[in-house]
Structure 1
Amino acid sequence: MSQSSQFSLLSQRRFAPFFWTQFLGAFNDNLFKTALLVALTYDALSWTTIAPGLLNNLIPGLFILPYVLFSATAGQIADKVEKGKLARFVKLLEVGIMLVACLGWMTHTLWLLIAAVVGMGVHSTLFGPVKYAYLPQHLKPEELVGGNGVIEMGTFVGILLGEVAGALLVAHKPFGIELVAGASLLMALLGLAASWRIPASPAPAPELKINHNFLTESVRNLRFSSQNRTVFLSMLGNSWFWFYGALVLSQFPVYAKDYLHGDHSVFVLLLTVFSLGIGIGSLLCEKLSGRKVEIGLVPFGSIGLSLFGIDLYFASLAYTNTATVDAFALLALPGSLRILADLVLIGVFGGFFIVPLFALIQTRCDPKHVSRTIAGMNILNALFMVAAAGVAIVLLGQGFSIPQMFLVTALLNALVAIYIFSLVPEFLMRFLAWLLIHTIHRVATVDVERIPDEGPAVLVCNHVSYVDAIVIGAASPRPIRFVMDHRIFNMPLLGWIFRTAKAIPIAPAKEDPFLMERAFIDIAEALHQGDLVCIFPEGKLTSTGEINEFRGGVAKIVERSKVPVIPMALRGLWGSVFTRDPGNLFERSFARGWRSKLALAVGVPVAPQEATPEYLYEQVRVLRGEWK
């Protein structure tokens, strides 16, 4: 998918009305919340005697409280009801909530505005499961990462523009309150209009009986999601990001006012650069992932969240200005660009972190349970965000400064990342594979879509280097169980990666007959479970660059498991430092140059009855051609 085709979804009815409905909802949520927070931060005494720092953490907490209470019910409704109809109901509800907010603004009644905050939380809770369950119904698998990227970009641009509009309108004297009230009602009406164009999206479980007990349904929902370990831990990772974001973003009003000594335009600037970073990172995911769900980006994103969060602390300490400034004056001050760069990069790496997790959850959970899985994730998101508000209140009460809170959040992120990646090593393994093919090599793929998206198959490939499995695994749209020589399997570092990927070690019968038989049993079991299994039928690395004769192991595999066999060929790896090229290692290290090209070509699936070693050898030889 090209970059233009990612945006071409915006011209198609299957995507555009839903995108604008989501965009306008995110815009309006944040226009309203930000206007309220700015009013309470910069004009607190005319509204309440409660400390602004407490309100800045309390109001976001109240907004996401409905996620805890009603997400499970919302997930059931989204799986039972046609999604276009449900979206229109939610938008009608938003119009009613904004009428209540207008009354609160006009009468200067804080409790009505707080009620509207909770109401918008209910609105977002109902729409949340629709948001991510809708995409797999209308997008092709190869469009899913790009579509998620556009949705995330749109969401955060909507958040950004809403926050900017809210902050600017409420500060406009003497009609700021009236402008906010009118704009929020107009956005709700525009969202309702957009929802009428959303195409029909049949309910996956229309026969579902809704359990109205939100407590028991929440527990049942989370218990069901936890049965798929990778999906559940991805949900936890997603929720952690919202903890991180909530803890950082909720400090921006006071950080801008008390630490940067800025007016409301400085607050707007902080929101702008952070949200633009998220949008940029979300869109870059499609380019960096190669049109597939690339969870290797998740550790990459996590590293950036910690590194630039830590640097934001030190950049804040280095900032020395004490005079009140606006956004333009801030840009000219020493140290300000470093702070803004940190916020942009936190956003960019946040996009790398969040988009692949969404796509992974959508593709690996039960199709009939997508909305309820998303609802379960929203419950976790809400709990984590409530926890973020609680942690912020506690830290502030203990005398922590806001820069110190940024540092604590970044360090906690590092600990959480280490924990999650130790539980699901596939993330780290994919990251190392992604790093290899985006730094040392440039990998092109030919007909990689011939690797099936689901169901068992045996992949056969020529064996050129010690990193063949990593290159193939990085190019595949789904995990692969590799069968490899037990000596390579037990190599330092690479062996850990292969064990992490659940590779299957094998040995020649004359060397270890038990291990060989055990390998064939493991292969049959993996194929029975619907996995992809990749073998290198040569049985050893080539020492000449030419393809060695294929051994009979593949015939034994398909004799036990009647599955298709897909021939593949690696091109361009011979002569690298990872091969057995007898040439001088030092010369080889530099002869190919940095970012050398290589390719993986995938052939047409071969029926099991035709998958003889001789026939497969010929298919792989033709696929490879003359490029070693």
Structure 2
Amino acid sequence: MTTATAETAPLAPADPHPNQFALLKQRRFAPFFWTQFAGAANDNLFKFAFTVMVTYQLQVAWLPPAMAGLVIGALFILPYLLFSATSGQLADKYDKRALILFVKWLEIGIMVVAAFGFFAANVPILLLCTFLMGLHSTLFGPVKFAYLPQHLNERELTGGNGMVEMGTFVAILLGQVAGGLLVDVPAVGPQAVGIACIVLAIAGRVVAHAIPKSAPTDPHLVINWNPFTETWANLKLARENVVVFRSLLGISWMWFFGAIFLSQFPSFAKDVLHGNAQVASLLLVVFSVGIGIGALLCEMLSRRHVEIGLVPLGAVGMSVFAIDLYFASRGLQDAQAATFTLSQFVTVGAHWRVMADLALLSLFTGLYSVPMYALIQLRSQPTHRARIIAANNILNALFMIASSLIAGALLGAGLTIPQIFLLTALANAVVAFYIFMLVPEYLLRFIAWVVSRIIYRFKVSGDEHIPVQGAAVLACNHVSFVDAVLLMAASPRPIYFVMDHRIFKLPVLGAMFKLAKAIPIASQKEDPVVYEAAFKRAAEVLRDGDLLAIFPEGGITKDGVLQPFKGGIMKVLETARADGVQPPVIPMALTNLWGSFFSRVEQGNAMVRPFRRGLFNRVGLNVGAPIPASQVEPAALQGSVAKLLAAG
């Protein structure tokens, strides 16, 4: 499996800032953040105000109120299907700052025309502007997500994506609230909306001027202006990296899941919760805040790495709380004939369970989506990263359209809204399981995340020495049966382990290491075929630019003392050198694991005394500076690991 080939920002210190919020003080992020914030707010201010206007204020024979929201939504999303492929090419070929400035000028022009439409109450002009604003967002999408990995390093990527995700949903919320309030102002509501749209567009353009330049990643790219052939080409390009493509499908499923809930909020509030329009707005607020909190939690829970182990956690939470939402709302459908106002709604205890379910399922949706976005950015080839993002936008649009059609069909078949929520939750569990079986790295990272944060309290020192890209050999002491799991948790990239073939016979761990494609090895005397095959496979891993981990002691220590290093690592390096690869060796030392449940104790067996030290016990991993392959020698490498071990 080829890992990160994306160039990240110029190398920064391991902790360039205390948390993701500090990015808002830095020029490489803050102007970009506020530019995309203003754009998302303007999109939703315009769309929501227009929808309210044609639903409640205008009588348009050819656009009945019941169809207005559907038509406006379809026109806005249509450019994603038609022009995403083209916008991805543009973002790869040209400076992203220049493209952002162009998009902001386009937004100002569209909003000037839209203002005329609001002033004149001209629905066809406003429908045209809806399509053009969809085009504006289509052009900005690939630039938006391809910009981040050029200016943030791997340790900042999760936090940066979390900030963008949070900012997007807050902007959507504020835009819709502002649109609804402004258009309802007596006598001058539509005019106020038009002016506000122009002001927001200008503000976005002013802020965008401070965005730093972003060098084109494929300046010699020849643009294919045919959207249909290029869309197909983009999808084929995305399929070249299996993990990335299936992550695109995972993100698109998230949009399917979210669209089901968002589209049903008005009807859910009215027909199930018996609330007024303010109650529907409250549900939107709760959902948006939940996603924002989940997105921001990703950096803390991932320890500032791209931690895709959070994705299964997010998927489980999405299903659990969506199922509970069904049970929480099922008994409310016939409980009240009158309509609740907002103040009356919040006084009913049963409604707080509904809001808690909405908040938690959206929070877990944030945990699910942010690591996937970061993974795609990190592992896509820089030369066509924006086109991969464009493919993602195409798939997102298709999944959202499918969600509308399926929800409509289910409602037409007589299902209630809570029943649709229940089916969506169950479908989410099935889809998530399918994706995690197709891409076992998600499941493995989740197991590593649980072990390193719940069974043990795991602290890593020197993890900046683990390379974000390129081949390397990780050489670590061998203390327990979960050493490999802890190394997985410490690395932002997949690791291929060379492991004693006997460990594959263990019931649970053996299955997990097979899933991780660990490389079994036996002594030359015991099984020469397995011995030679192991070194051949290890050389292939390094040739592919991946991380290879080896435990040079040759087995788990029986007394807690570092054992002499054997010559296997030298054979690995020699085999790799024959393939033209000279990977650095990264010395590592696991500390405080001896005596825990998964280690041997005084010549005894591991995993036989359930109350042996382990739960919440503090363990550590110390990572040393890389050693060039030409300077590696077993005794000296053992000395390096011993120093790291002594550092505690």
23, 35, 42: which is aligned to 2:37? 23
Instruction: Provide the C-alpha distance between the structure 2 equivalents of 1:3 and 1:409, rounded to a whole number of angstroms.
Output: 40
**Cross-structure match for 1:592:** 613
Instruction: Provide the C-alpha distance between the structure 1 equivalents of 2:420 and 2:17, rounded to a whole number of angstroms.
Output: 37
**Secondary structure of the residue that 1:250 maps to in structure 2?**
helix
116, 121, 126: which is aligned to 1:113? 126
How far does residue 391 in structure 1 lie from its aligned partner after superposition? 1.6
**Cross-structure match for 1:5:** 19
**Cross-structure match for 1:153:** 166
Alpha carbons of structure 1 residues 622 and 489: separation in structure 2 relative to 1, 3 Å: same
263, 282, 295: which is aligned to 1:282? 295
Preserved contact between residue 495 and residue 549 of structure 2 (Cα < 8 Å): yes
How far does residue 355 in structure 1 lie from its aligned partner after superposition? 0.8
Query: Normalising to structure 1: TM-score of the pair?
Result: 0.95
410, 424, 437: which is aligned to 1:395? 410
Alpha carbons of structure 1 residues 62 and 188: separation in structure 2 relative to 1, 3 Å: same
How far does residue 175 in structure 1 lie from its aligned partner after superposition? 4.0
308, 312, 315: which is aligned to 1:299? 312
Cα offsets for 1:9-65 (capped at 9, x unmatched): 111221111111100111111122223344556x28845586756544443233111
Check if 1:324 corresponds to 2:345: no
Check if 1:481 corresponds to 2:496: yes
**Secondary structure of the residue that 1:363 maps to in structure 2?**
helix
**Cross-structure match for 1:581:** 601
**Cross-structure match for 1:14:** 28
How far does residue 256 in structure 1 lie from its aligned partner after superposition? 2.1
Bigger CA drift: 162-171 or 334-343?
162-171
Instruction: Provide the C-alpha distance between the structure 2 equivalents of 1:525 and 1:501, rounded to a whole number of angstroms.
Output: 16
Cα offsets for 1:167-193 (capped at 9, x unmatched): 333344454333333322221221122
Preserved contact between residue 152 and residue 355 of structure 1 (Cα < 8 Å): yes
Check if 1:136 corresponds to 2:157: no
Preserved contact between residue 77 and residue 210 of structure 1 (Cα < 8 Å): yes
Counterparts of residues 42-441 of structure 1 (less than 5 Å): 43=56, 46-47=59-60, 54-319=67-332, 320-441=335-456
Preserved contact between residue 53 and residue 254 of structure 1 (Cα < 8 Å): no
Cα offsets for 1:277-331 (capped at 9, x unmatched): 1111111111111111111111111111111111112222132333222322211
Check if 1:565 corresponds to 2:585: yes
Preserved contact between residue 84 and residue 199 of structure 1 (Cα < 8 Å): yes
Preserved contact between residue 27 and residue 212 of structure 2 (Cα < 8 Å): yes
Instruction: Provide the C-alpha distance between the structure 2 equivalents of 1:159 and 1:260, rounded to a whole number of angstroms.
Output: 23
Preserved contact between residue 163 and residue 271 of structure 1 (Cα < 8 Å): no
Check if 1:539 corresponds to 2:561: no
Preserved contact between residue 524 and residue 560 of structure 1 (Cα < 8 Å): yes
Alpha carbons of structure 1 residues 584 and 200: separation in structure 2 relative to 1, 3 Å: closer
Paired AA for residue 131 in structure 1: K
How far does residue 102 in structure 1 lie from its aligned partner after superposition? 2.8
Instruction: Provide the C-alpha distance between the structure 1 equivalents of 2:105 and 2:268, rounded to a whole number of angstroms.
Output: 36
Preserved contact between residue 275 and residue 347 of structure 1 (Cα < 8 Å): yes
Paired AA for residue 467 in structure 1: V
Instruction: Provide the C-alpha distance between the structure 2 equivalents of 1:48 and 1:314, rounded to a whole number of angstroms.
Output: 41
**Cross-structure match for 1:34:** 48
Alpha carbons of structure 1 residues 586 and 522: separation in structure 2 relative to 1, 3 Å: closer
Preserved contact between residue 321 and residue 333 of structure 1 (Cα < 8 Å): no
Preserved contact between residue 587 and residue 640 of structure 2 (Cα < 8 Å): yes
Paired AA for residue 597 in structure 1: R
**Secondary structure of the residue that 2:507 maps to in structure 1?**
coil
**Secondary structure of the residue that 2:278 maps to in structure 1?**
helix
Instruction: Provide the C-alpha distance between the structure 2 equivalents of 1:385 and 1:103, rounded to a whole number of angstroms.
Output: 31
Instruction: Provide the C-alpha distance between the structure 2 equivalents of 1:3 and 1:391, rounded to a whole number of angstroms.
Output: 45
**Secondary structure of the residue that 2:19 maps to in structure 1?**
helix
How far does residue 373 in structure 1 lie from its aligned partner after superposition? 1.1
For this pair of structures, how many residues does the alignment match? 626
Instruction: Provide the C-alpha distance between the structure 2 equivalents of 1:199 and 1:566, rounded to a whole number of angstroms.
Output: 35
Preserved contact between residue 36 and residue 168 of structure 2 (Cα < 8 Å): yes
616, 632, 647: which is aligned to 1:611? 632
**Secondary structure of the residue that 2:520 maps to in structure 1?**
strand
**Cross-structure match for 2:10:** none
Instruction: Provide the C-alpha distance between the structure 2 equivalents of 1:51 and 1:327, rounded to a whole number of angstroms.
Output: 28
**Secondary structure of the residue that 2:200 maps to in structure 1?**
helix
**Secondary structure of the residue that 1:335 maps to in structure 2?**
helix
How far does residue 422 in structure 1 lie from its aligned partner after superposition? 1.2
Cα offsets for 1:490-512 (capped at 9, x unmatched): 32121221112111011122222
Instruction: Provide the C-alpha distance between the structure 2 equivalents of 1:486 and 1:395, rounded to a whole number of angstroms.
Output: 52
Query: Normalising to structure 2: TM-score of the pair?
Result: 0.92
How far does residue 151 in structure 1 lie from its aligned partner after superposition? 1.1
How far does residue 275 in structure 1 lie from its aligned partner after superposition? 0.7
How far does residue 514 in structure 1 lie from its aligned partner after superposition? 1.2
Instruction: Provide the C-alpha distance between the structure 2 equivalents of 1:40 and 1:591, rounded to a whole number of angstroms.
Output: 68
Instruction: Provide the C-alpha distance between the structure 2 equivalents of 1:565 and 1:200, rounded to a whole number of angstroms.
Output: 36
Preserved contact between residue 598 and residue 606 of structure 2 (Cα < 8 Å): no
Bigger CA drift: 71-80 or 582-591?
582-591
Instruction: Provide the C-alpha distance between the structure 1 equivalents of 2:267 and 2:647, rounded to a whole number of angstroms.
Output: 64
Alpha carbons of structure 1 residues 417 and 525: separation in structure 2 relative to 1, 3 Å: same
Alpha carbons of structure 1 residues 525 and 101: separation in structure 2 relative to 1, 3 Å: same
Preserved contact between residue 599 and residue 606 of structure 2 (Cα < 8 Å): no
Cα offsets for 1:110-167 (capped at 9, x unmatched): 3333322222111100100110111111122221111111111111111121122223
Preserved contact between residue 57 and residue 250 of structure 1 (Cα < 8 Å): no
Preserved contact between residue 600 and residue 606 of structure 2 (Cα < 8 Å): no
Instruction: Provide the C-alpha distance between the structure 1 equivalents of 2:184 and 2:280, rounded to a whole number of angstroms.
Output: 12
Preserved contact between residue 312 and residue 342 of structure 1 (Cα < 8 Å): yes
Alpha carbons of structure 1 residues 390 and 226: separation in structure 2 relative to 1, 3 Å: same
Paired AA for residue 596 in structure 2: S
Unaligned 5+ runs, structure 1: none
**Secondary structure of the residue that 2:349 maps to in structure 1?**
coil
Instruction: Provide the C-alpha distance between the structure 1 equivalents of 2:555 and 2:525, rounded to a whole number of angstroms.
Output: 15
Preserved contact between residue 150 and residue 283 of structure 1 (Cα < 8 Å): yes
Alpha carbons of structure 1 residues 546 and 321: separation in structure 2 relative to 1, 3 Å: farther
**Cα RMSD between the aligned structures?**
2.2
How far does residue 397 in structure 1 lie from its aligned partner after superposition? 2.2
**Secondary structure of the residue that 1:493 maps to in structure 2?**
helix
**Cross-structure match for 2:11:** none
Instruction: Provide the C-alpha distance between the structure 2 equivalents of 1:528 and 1:289, rounded to a whole number of angstroms.
Output: 29
**Cross-structure match for 1:443:** 458
Cα offsets for 1:329-368 (capped at 9, x unmatched): 2111131111111111122111111111111111111111
Instruction: Provide the C-alpha distance between the structure 1 equivalents of 2:16 and 2:208, rounded to a whole number of angstroms.
Output: 28
Bigger CA drift: 177-186 or 76-85?
177-186
